[in-house]
Amino acid sequence: MSAKNVIIRVDFNVPVQNGKISDPTRILAIKETVEYFSIRRVILASHFRDPKKGENDYQQFSFAQILDELKHYLGRDILLLDLFDERLPQKIDDAPQEMLILLDNSRLWPGEKECSDELAQRIASLGSLFINEAFSCSHRAHASVIGVSKYLPTYPGFHFQSELRALTRGLKNPESPFLAIIGGSKISSKLPILESLLPKVDFLAIGGAMAHTFFAAYEKPIGCSLFEQNYVPKAKELLDIFSGKILLPRDVAIANDLDSPHKFVDASSIPSNFSAFDIGPITAKAWSDLAKCCNTVVWNGTLGVAEHPPFDAGSKEVSRAICDSKAFSLAGGGDTLAALAQFGVADKFSHVCTGGGAFLEWLAAGELLAEKTFTATSFDFDIVRL
């Protein structure tokens, strides 16, 4: 039964609104690999939502609710099966060769998150080859991502390979001048990324509320702006070591709150009863001009509260400048991708990474856990697919 079966780990944990898939990007991204291996029987494994303790409504976490749409986007008939069905091998054998087999939500499998050997062997017993197309999950030590690789030859799919090529070009072999733009609210969540990037970049622009922690390290007034007191010493250390590379906002958009009228002030003199919610126009122009002079630009994290206009203005202007530049541009992270889609520029970046947590892990470590499990990262598919 399993000799000609190929198991492909995908990520179909897609957003669903009113019963419809609102963003099929991850589904479409793996279509080439699925079609390429259709000479074999293809078995897909994926998670779909994550049951919390006490949640036991199976249908709420089953692919059954979006199965018709998955069939539409993949252009193939799909048979949804339970990994723990006693008749699973027979049902797979009985299915038509051209029909895709989809194992229902891997997060419902006991031992998945613990990377259980027993579970990994159960999955591996269904095939003779394992293809990883779940880049967005490949920083997680789960049985369906990492564990199966102990028992089957393992290779990255076409989309996974495209992610690795873009990350390697943008982060391991960047063409100088190299600009990284890092935003977001907390330095604590981005510290490994900052420490990894700063030795490599020519410039690192820091926006979002994270910048306020750096201003606090300079003992500049930040008003009521969000910052992390416990990380002020670390911010000061980074400024001391990399002062020539770190770029902080020169002006900011401030208001009493997100729904109040805003104004622009010098970033080093925020009044005590105001908070900064975005970079200002002087900073946006300076960073836009810099991006146009660089050959590599990597972006993660918005530069203001981009989901709440008008505090999306800074991120919008800089993102559009990057698209107009000659640079190889790489972006990733959930909030970042949502903002780029909001601005209508996501398809104008050289590469937009489909995995939020995986992208952050790669920025920090330069490698994902799953990469260590590959039999090879590039190969002749004509050999392994037969």
Write the CATH number for 43: 3.40.50.1260
Task: Say if CB 211 and CB 222 are below 8 A apart.
Answer: no
Residues 172 and 289 in one domain: yes
Residues 215 and 243 in one domain: yes
Question: Residue 355's closest CA among 51, 156, 137, 74?
Answer: 137
Mean pLDDT of 4-29: 91
- Burial of residue 323 (CB within 10 Å: 0-12, 13-18, 19+) is buried
DSSP string, 136-154: GGTTS--TTTTGGGGTS-E
Residues 300 and 255 in one domain: yes
pLDDT at 53: 62
Pairing state of beta strands 251-255 and 263-266?
Answer: antiparallel
- Burial of residue 132 (CB within 10 Å: 0-12, 13-18, 19+) is buried
- Burial of residue 312 (CB within 10 Å: 0-12, 13-18, 19+) is buried
Question: Residue 133's closest CA among 9, 233, 259?
Answer: 9
- Burial of residue 15 (CB within 10 Å: 0-12, 13-18, 19+) is exposed
> Is residue 339 in a domain?
yes
Residues 325 and 237 in one domain: yes
> Is residue 39 in a domain?
yes
Residues 109 and 183 in one domain: no
Q: How far apart are CA 140 and CA 322, in angstroms?
A: 31
Question: How does 144-179 read in b/e, with b if 16+ C-beta sit within 10 Å?
Answer: bbbbbbebbebbbbbbbbbbbebbebbbeebeebbb
Residues 338 and 219 in one domain: yes
> Is residue 50 in a domain?
yes
> Is residue 295 in a domain?
yes
> Is residue 373 in a domain?
no
Residues 205 and 346 in one domain: yes
Residues 179 and 38 in one domain: no
Mean pLDDT of 222-250: 95
Give pLDDT tens digits for 303-314.
999 999 999 999
Question: How does 192-217 read in b/e, with b if 16+ C-beta sit within 10 Å?
Answer: ebbebbbebbbbbbbbbbbbbbbbbb
> Is residue 371 in a domain?
no
φ and ψ at residue 295, rounded to 5 degrees: -100, -15
Residues 114 and 185 in one domain: no
Residue 41: how many other CB atoms lie within 10 Å: 24
Residues 118 and 213 in one domain: no
The stretches of the chain forming alpha helices (DSSP H) are: 25-29, 31-36, 67-74, 88-94, 117-124, 158-167, 187-197, 210-217, 232-242, 281-293, 313-324, 334-343, 356-365, 381-384
What is the model's pTM? Answer: 0.90
Residues 190 and 294 in one domain: yes
pLDDT at 49: 82
Task: Say if CB 10 and CB 46 are below 8 A apart.
Answer: yes
Q: Which residue has the tokens 């939020």?
A: 356
Number of domains in the chain: 2
Residue range of the domain that includes 295:
165-365
Average pLDDT value for the chain = 93
pLDDT at 379: 56
Domain boundary at 98, 126, 152, which?
Answer: 152
Q: How far apart are CA 335 and CA 356, in angstroms?
A: 8
Mean pLDDT of 35-61: 83
Mean pLDDT of 39-49: 93
Task: Say if CB 302 and CB 180 are below 8 A apart.
Answer: no
Residues 25 and 143 in one domain: yes
> Is residue 383 in a domain?
no
> Is residue 370 in a domain?
no
Give pLDDT tens digits for 60-102.
889 999 999 999 999 999 999 999 999 999 999 999 989 999 9
Tokens standing for residue 180: 């990284």
Confidence of residue 54 (pLDDT cuts 50, 70, 90): low
